[in-house]
Amino acid sequence: MPSKYILVTGGTGFIGSHTSIALAAAGYIPLLLDNFSNSDARVLQRLNNIIGTTPKLVEGDVRDTPLLAKLFGDYDITGVMHFAGLKAVGDSVADPLSYYDVNVCGTVNLARAMKASGVKTLIFSSSATVYGEPESSPIPEHAPFAPANPYGQSKAMSELILADLHKSDPTWRIARLRYFNPVGAHESGLIGELPQGKPNNLMPFVSQVAVGIRERLTVHGNDYPTPDGTGVRDYVHVMDLAEGHVAALRHVTDNPGLLTLNLGTGVGASVLDVVNTFERVSGRPVARDMGPRRPGDVPAYWADPSQALATLGWKAKRGLDEMCADSWRWQALNPDAYDRRTRPRTTSTAV
């Protein structure tokens, strides 16, 4: 009976921690690897409250070759989900070498460790940023690569590397999953997005305004060629994303090959759609000002998710109301994130 250990790199991060819940629910054993560069180990206790057991965690970096060799030697790992990476678009422009080192060299190092151990099942966390500014939306998987920043470039390079790896040995089972805009939180409110410092992304900024941590939201541009002039994106609930990863793992386990899929809702929502929905579901005002466009932003893009439905039977189930309601519950219960001074107002024994 093959083991059910799935190595989850970046496992205490936003998407890695939520995916660990979906893995456990599907009968797998998540084995988390994280260097805590953008996460907090206290998520483990929250995961215990949700899953019922505390996932095994190894502190470390995917670029640490001896550590990876030890991990694959110590645990009977049946597959890997690779989330560990840097993901701030603006930071990547200022510090490209770190993005290529962590995201590209990290992926190469992980794949080499897998190859050496005979583990050839890999789910790779890619991004819609590989498309750059698309010619049109919805965007299909065969749309050309046109990354507009080193972050998107690092994901595109990693995808090409994995394609060459599969070409060299077709027994590899690889899924490259391109996320659009992951938002939301687990319905318990015990875990969620935990941006370090001032949030770059819209949803955490909106929730911090709603809870009173920040004064006002600046809407980056309201003169775009969109219905209300503000930027349009394909927001997808992080738990839909997590379930999509498990569906992809199941598929490639039975079907060696190279799978490339968009994970999005196929529905575009504007900045004001998000802000107004958030106000309605939270009952809290979100003060906003109209500001200038943000350099590097594109007016509008959303996914064509039909391939994920056809191949995996996966379709996002949670709409914008639920994304905002779950984001709000996480924020309201944890205004200071995992800081022990703030106990969630729930009956659970959460920390």
- Residues touching ligand WQD: how many (CB under 6 A)? 19
Contact flag: residue 89 with ligand WQD (CB under 6 A)? yes
Q: Is 179 in the site for ligand WQD (CB under 6 A)?
A: yes
Q: Which two tokens stand for residue 54?
A: 């505390």
Element at 156 (helix H, strand E): helix 150-168
Partners of 6 in the β-ladder: 30, 79
Pick the binder of ligand WQD from 83, 99, 205, 302 (CB under 6 A). 205
**From CA 166, how far away is CA 161, in angstroms rounded?**
9
Q: Which of 233, 245, 251, 318 binds ligand WQD (CB under 6 A)?
A: 233
- Per CB under 6 A, the segment of 57-65, 69-77, 194-202, 335-343 that binds ligand WQD is 194-202
202 interacts with ligand WQD by CB under 6 A: yes
Are the C-beta atoms of 165 and 171 separated by less than 8 Å? no
The rounded distance, in Å, linking the Cα atoms of 350 and 124 is 31
**CB of 53: closest distance to ligand WQD in angstroms?**
29
Report, in Å, the least distance between residue 167 CB and ligand WQD.
25
User: String of b and e for 154-190 (b: at least 16 CB within 10 Å)?
Assistant: bbbbbbeebeebbeeeeebbbbbbbbbbbbbbbebbb
Q: Of these, 61, 91, 95, 297, which contacts ligand WQD (CB under 6 A)?
A: 297
Site for ligand WQD (CB under 6 A): which residue of 181, 277, 327, 331?
Answer: 181
Indicate whether 267 belongs to the interface with ligand WQD (CB under 6 A).
no
Tell me how far apart the alpha carbons of residues 321 and 325 are, in angstroms, rounded to a whole number. 6
Asked whether position 315 contacts ligand WQD by CB under 6 A, the answer is: no
Of the pair 50, 130, the CB lying nearest ligand WQD is at 130
What is the H or E stretch that residue 137 is in? none
Provide the annotated active-site residues.
151
Out of 127, 137, 277, 334, the residue judged to bind ligand WQD by CB under 6 A: 127
The set of residues, in sequence order, having a beta carbon less than 8 Å from that of 330 and lying 6+ positions away, is: 185, 186, 189, 190, 191, 192, 193, 207
Is 201 a binding residue for ligand WQD by CB under 6 A? The answer is yes
What is the distance between the alpha carbons of residues 146 and 262, in angstroms, rounded to a whole number?
Answer: 16
Distance (Å, rounded) from C-alpha 15 to C-alpha 238? 6
Establish if 92 lies at the interface with ligand WQD (CB under 6 A).
no
DSSP string, 224-240: SSSTTSS-EE-EEEHHH
Rounded to the nearest whole angstrom, what is the least distance from the CB of residue 335 to ligand WQD in the complex? 19
Residues that bind ligand WQD (CB under 6 A): 87, 89, 127, 129, 179, 181, 200-202, 205, 217-220, 231, 233, 271, 294, 297
